[in-house]
Amino acid sequence: MPSSLIDDAPEGVNTPEFTVSELSGAVKRMVEGEFGHVRVRGEIGRVSRPRSGHIYLDLKDDRAVLAAVVWKGVGVRLDIEPTEGDEVIAEGRLTTFPGQSKYQLVIEHLAYAGEGALLAKLERLRKALAAEGLFDQDRKQPIPYLPRVIGVVTSPSGAVIRDILHRLAERFPVRVLVWPVAVQGEKCVPEVTAAIRGFNALKADGPIPRPDVIIVARGGGSIEDLWGFNDEAVVRAAAESRIPLISAVGHETDTTLIDHAADRRAPTPTAAAEMAVPVRADLLATLADLGARRLRAMSRGLGERRQRLGDLARALPRPEQILADRRQRLDVAIARLPRLEQLILNARNNLEKRALRLGQSLRERLRIEQRRLSDRTGRFGPWLLTGRIQKSRARLDGLVRLFASLHYESTLKRGYAVVRSESAVLTRAAQVRPGMGLELEFADGRVRAEAGDGGGTPASDEKPRKIKPAKKKDGGQGSLF
């Protein structure tokens, strides 16, 4: 103890006096000296992840709560992700935090508290993913019968890949693409997730062929060894795979969540290879058997059709019988052919004789008609036709002169006019009304006019003009009008 504290104590008081920092430091040294390294089992309660990257959590049981912290550098190396509700065993050192007057556990290692805790966490995750429908049967894809390329996600140095390649070579050799991954530890989850999604990202016509089926394989181990295949990221990648996926993780009794999300589960990696391809020898035998059955079926079918054709042929008459009657008719016609030729020759001679007589008769009739026409032309000479033409021409000239004298345009030239209204020619004064629009036609054109108020009666002092009859010319023919 500092001597200054004892010397400064009041008289009669022997209790030393500490500052807050001194007391906090003394408690810190005592706690860290007494509990330098501890292992604590408990259930994870509240979990906080501030932006600094540190993890603050509570470890609790049914009677107490212990604050704990995982520094950022340690958190990236943890094998598990601290999750509320997990039962874990935390290793580290106990210390105090003077700033809040509390003690806490600085965790350096974190693990699940036995298989029971892992199984409980596994069951919670399984129920959550199943509720999303990732394990539904209608999401499962059929495995192709004969894939050309198989993608294998596993460790390249283990016995698993050798077993798969050996079984594929025995059954049906195909092209195999191996995506090397870590099958346990902290690298397992990101590498397996990247491998599944990487195979799906390949293009069918790219330089690296796209697999027709994917096998995710790993040998047996404890639940901790297989825990990477229970991770949510791996399970989601398997469920989202567009390429059919076969899960072959562990032995037959081992079950992981990727088995539920995969399209098929194989009890062992060797069994996965057997599911992926058929046996080549069996396939060849099956093809040979099918070929033999096809040949037998074709032979049997041809035999049945040949027999059916024979039955139908017996029901038909023989070709000689069908042609016999027609051959006989042809012989009869050939025998009658000379008589037909003689009849045709006689008919042709008769036709020539009649044509000759008809030609003579027509020529004689033509001569008679020509003589008659010559006689009639002599009686009616050209002088008679000329006289008739002159008389018709004189009569036509008279009619033309008469038309010219009687046409109203000739009358207009003598000083008269034609009065028209909008509807007709006006011939009486009574037809004219005051203000009526009129049209007067003279010999040299038409003029618009309007009727005055003079009335529609003729003037009393006007007398109708009398038309004198035309005098007859001496020595000429009188007018027809």
- Please state, in angstroms and as integers, the Cα–Cα distance from residue 450 to each residue in 421, 438, 440, 444, following that order: 10, 6, 10, 20
pLDDT, tens only, 227-236 = 889 889 999 9
Confidence at 5, pLDDT banded by 50, 70, 90: very low
Residues 270 and 157 in one domain: yes
Count helices and strands (H / E) in the chain: 13, 13
Residues 153 and 267 in one domain: yes
Least confident of 154-168, 295-309, 371-385: 371-385
pLDDT, tens only, 362-390 = 888 888 888 888 777 666 556 666 777 88
The answer to whether position 137 is within a domain reads no
What is the spatial order of strands in the sheet that 149-154 belongs to?
175-180, 149-154, 213-218, 245-249, 264-265
CB 83 within 8 A of CB 47: yes
Between 56 and 432, residue with greater pLDDT: 56
Q: Tell me, what's the pLDDT at 118? A: 66
CB 102 within 8 A of CB 120: no
Q: Which of 274, 185, 165, 268 is nearest to 229 (CA)?
A: 185
Rounded Cα–Cα distance for residues 256 and 122 (Å): 9
Residues 78 and 162 in one domain: no
Residues 266 and 241 in one domain: yes
Tokens for 216?
A: 């995710």
- Torsion angle in degrees (nearest 10) through CA of 448, 449, 450, 454: -160
Tokens for 478?
A: 């009188």
Contacts for 456-464: CB closer than 8 Å, 24+ residues apart: 456/428, 456/429, 456/430, 456/431, 456/432, 457/429, 457/430, 458/429
26: domain CATH number? Answer: 2.40.50.140
Q: Tell me, what's the pLDDT at 236? A: 93
Residues 273 and 309 in one domain: no
Residues 274 and 150 in one domain: yes
Least confident of 19-33, 63-77, 114-128: 114-128
176: domain CATH number? Answer: 3.40.50.261
Q: Tell me, what's the pLDDT at 427? A: 80
Please state the rounded mean pLDDT for residues 441-461: 70
Between 335 and 13, residue with greater pLDDT: 335
Q: Tell me, what's the pLDDT at 219? A: 87
Please state the rounded mean pLDDT for residues 166-193: 91
The answer to whether position 127 is within a domain reads no
- Please state, in angstroms and as integers, the Cα–Cα distance from residue 282 to each residue in 175, 285, 293, 295, following that order: 20, 5, 16, 20
**pLDDT exceeds 60 at position 20:** yes
The answer to whether position 390 is within a domain reads no
Helices assigned H by DSSP within 146-249: 159-171, 188-201, 232-240
Mean pLDDT over the full length of the chain: 82
Residues 244 and 199 in one domain: yes
Neighbours of 386 (CB within 10 A): 9
Which structural domain range is residue 49 located in? Answer: 3-112
Residues 223 and 158 in one domain: yes
* Run of H or E including 249: strand 245-249
Residues 265 and 154 in one domain: yes
Q: Tell me, what's the pLDDT at 450? A: 85
Q: Tell me, what's the pLDDT at 143? A: 93
**pLDDT exceeds 70 at position 472:** no
Residues 92 and 187 in one domain: no
pLDDT, tens only, 71-115 = 988 888 887 788 887 788 888 888 888 777 788 888 988 887 765
The number of domains in the chain is 4
The answer to whether position 329 is within a domain reads no
The answer to whether position 311 is within a domain reads yes
Q: What is the DSSP annotation of 417-474?
A: -EEE-SSSB--SGGG--TT-EEEEEETTEEEEEE--SS-SS--TT--PPPPPPPPPPT
The answer to whether position 478 is within a domain reads no
CB 154 within 8 A of CB 216: yes
The answer to whether position 402 is within a domain reads no
The answer to whether position 399 is within a domain reads no
Residues 163 and 272 in one domain: yes
Positive/negative CA dihedral, 138, 141, 143, 146: positive
C-alpha distance across the termini of the chain, in Å = 180
Residues 12 and 34 in one domain: yes
Q: Tell me, what's the pLDDT at 212? A: 94
Least confident of 26-35, 117-126, 330-339, 380-389: 380-389
